[in-house]
């Protein structure tokens, strides 16, 4: 628990390198593939959204690099 609310770090997104994003994407895909059929639809959709968001970030980074 933090001593004070609204630290500057609470507002900023976590900065990850390209390799960290690729590793996270692999892990999230494995999580999605390992989900059982009884997992709630909303949880499955949120994980799928995370996959698409990470793929978009990597695409943007790749296109900006060239």
Neighbour count for residue 54 (Cβ, 10 Å): 19
Pull the structure tokens for residue 31: 């999580």
Q: What is the pLDDT of residues 27-59, one digit of tens each?
A: 999 999 999 999 999 999 999 999 999 999 999
Contact 25, 50 (CB under 8 A): no
b vs e for 9-25, b when ≥16 Cβ sit within 10 Å of the residue's Cβ?
Answer: eeeeeeeeeeeeeeeeb
| pLDDT confidence tier of residue 62, bands split at 50, 70 and 90 | confident
Higher pLDDT residue, 26 or 62?
Answer: 26
């Amino acid at each position: 628990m933090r001593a004070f609310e609204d630290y500057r770090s609470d507002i900023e997104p976590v900065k990850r390198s390209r390799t960290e994003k690729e590793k996270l994407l692999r892990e999230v895909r494995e999580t999605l593939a390992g989900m059982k059929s009884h997992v709630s639809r909303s949880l499955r959709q949120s994980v799928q959204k995370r996959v698409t968001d990470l793929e978009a970030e990597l695409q943007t980074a790749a296109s900006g690099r060239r």
